[in-house]
Amino acid sequence: MAESTQPPALTILCLASYEKGQEFMRECKRQGCTVLLLTAEKLAEAGWPRESIDEVFMMPDPSKKPDVIHAVSYLARARKIDRIVPLDEFDIETAASLREHLRIPGMGETTARHFRDKLAMRIQAKEKGVLVPEFVEVINYDRLREFISRVRPPWVLKPRFSASAIGIKKLAHADELWPTLDTLGDEQSFHVLEQFIPGEIYHVDAVVSEREVVFAEAHQYGRPPFAIMHGGGIFTTRTLPRDSAEALALRELNREVIGALGMVRGVTHTEFIRAHADGRFYFLESAARVGGANIAELVEAATGVNLWAEWAKVETSRDTGAHRVTPSKRLYSGIIISLAKQESPETAAYNDPEIVWRMNKAHHVGLIVASPDPERVRRLLESYSERFYTDFYASAPPPDKPTA
């Protein structure tokens, strides 16, 4: 009997500090992989796709990197782990350290830092010719004094390793800066000080295979996430008209950023700002993950492309060339999400035929709409925003740390 020429199935270890990435694991299983999940004990009863997971391992605190390295090294005594994939922003560094330690292919610690450290990604992008807001590391006080004398306020003080707008502080003058740094103490070097640029915020969500951006969709936020997190409001974002000057410029700029930061394969969520003052796009930050706030569902509603599934295909591909992504739809979509004063908000009164998704989460309300007409999507989001304020809207203080 002839021996099989099929390569052995890959074993994929997924790290998940938060409940997400179910479709990634399902697709890995569809690709014939053995799927292992390492998550927190508090998520033992979460909605994991158990039918697609071969083994689940629990830890009290997956954020403790040394403990995870010890645990996974122990697992590797009896299992050949081929890929390690972080499903959340806060697992990226741990995954990179594990790959380095176990000598497993994938993004190492240096490249991972380009997608986690807001200082590292700014330095790397600037060195490669990408336009970024003026910034300075919060390390040397002489450099800080030079920066605040040269760059007019306001400024934003950003944690280098946080996600979204968590922990960001807006400073109006130097008298606010020094007391703020004093309160940070030894933690101040884990921050970057940046010029605040008023403008419109955009994001590009992409799939990267063998250093090539094989799929990218450009979107525009309604209000900046920073403004919503720190001042309240309703979150919206929508697909830009694909042939518009904005979308074309953003996709090209995104390609330059991904190349500058060194992404080989995976997914990215990258944010840009178009300054009111000069109309130019500035790079803000990039993450090696699927965007939060149900952006995966937003992209799928417009294109038929599930970012989690395409990520899994990229990670498990045995081909030497780039993976190809073929959208099955050419629609435009928009999402609206708000905290709700009701525990289970009722959205039956929102009955437009363009609604394709409704959020099911306590004290939250959300809808996704999709249409062949991007202007129709824009008008629906504007109308729903006004109605949401009356029907559902609630606010809460900004969190000090991520909650999901």
Query: pLDDT digit string (tens) for 57-105?
Result: 999 999 999 999 999 999 999 999 999 999 999 999 999 999 999 999 9
| Cis peptide bond prior to 154, omega within 30° of 0 | yes
pTM recorded for the entire structure:
0.94
Q: Are 370 and 303 in contact (CB under 8 A)?
A: no
SS3 75: helix
Same domain assignment for residues 164 and 235: no
Structure tokens at 90: 């806060």
CATH number at residue 185: 3.30.1490.20
Phi, psi of 27 (to 5 degrees): -70, -40
pLDDT for position 96? 97
pLDDT for position 224? 83
Domain count, the chain: 3
Domain end: 195, 212, 236, which one?
Answer: 195
Cα 90 to chain centroid distance, Å, stands at 10
Look-up of token digits 């002489």:
142
Same domain assignment for residues 247 and 380: yes
Domain end: 195, 220, 246, which one?
Answer: 195
Same domain assignment for residues 283 and 175: no
SS3 139: coil
Tell me the β-bridge partners of 367. Answer: 336, 358
- Show the domain range for 186: 134-195
Please choose, from the candidates 62, 64, 67, 66, the residue with its C-alpha nearest in 3D space to the C-alpha of residue 86: 62
Give the DSSP H/E element, type plus range, for residue 50. Answer: none
Distance CA 37, CA 289 (A): 17
Structure tokens at 174: 């130097």
Please choose, from the candidates 403, 306, 319, 397, the residue with its C-alpha nearest in 3D space to the C-alpha of residue 361: 403
Model confidence pLDDT, tens digit, residues 239-279:
999 999 999 999 999 999 999 999 999 999 999 999 999 99
Let me know if residue 326 belongs to a domain.
yes
Sequence-separated (6 or more) residues with CB below 8 Å from residue 270: 203, 204, 205, 206, 254, 257, 258, 283, 285, 286, 287
Same domain assignment for residues 228 and 363: yes
Distance CA 115, CA 92 (A): 9
Same domain assignment for residues 190 and 230: no
Q: Please state, in angstroms and as integers, the Cα–Cα distance from residue 158 to each residue in 116, 163, 260, following that order.
A: 12, 10, 21
Model confidence pLDDT, tens digit, residues 193-240:
999 999 999 999 999 999 999 999 999 999 888 878 777 899 999 999
| pLDDT beyond 60 at 2 | no
Let me know if residue 3 belongs to a domain.
no
Tell me the β-bridge partners of 34. Answer: 11
Same domain assignment for residues 380 and 231: yes
Cα 105 to chain centroid distance, Å, stands at 22
pLDDT band at 383 (very low <50, low <70, confident <90, very high): very high
Taken in order 388, 389, 394, 395, the sign of the CA dihedral is positive
CATH number at residue 96: 3.40.50.20
Q: Are 172 and 153 in contact (CB under 8 A)?
A: yes
Look-up of token digits 């959205």:
347
Same domain assignment for residues 236 and 93: no
Same domain assignment for residues 207 and 347: yes
Let me know if residue 83 belongs to a domain.
yes
pLDDT for position 165? 67
| pLDDT beyond 60 at 1 | no
**HSE-CB for 214 with a 13 A CA cutoff:** 24
Look-up of token digits 């450290």:
117
Same domain assignment for residues 33 and 66: yes
Please choose, from the candidates 47, 75, 79, the residue with its C-alpha nearest in 3D space to the C-alpha of residue 59: 75
Domain end: 180, 195, 210, which one?
Answer: 195
Model confidence pLDDT, tens digit, residues 9-33:
899 999 999 999 999 999 999 999 9
Structure tokens at 281: 């796009």
Quote the strand ranges of 288-325, DSSP E: none
Same domain assignment for residues 50 and 95: yes
Please choose, from the candidates 209, 220, 208, 292, the residue with its C-alpha nearest in 3D space to the C-alpha of residue 250: 220
Let me know if residue 401 belongs to a domain.
no
CATH number at residue 358: 3.30.470.20
Same domain assignment for residues 284 and 385: yes
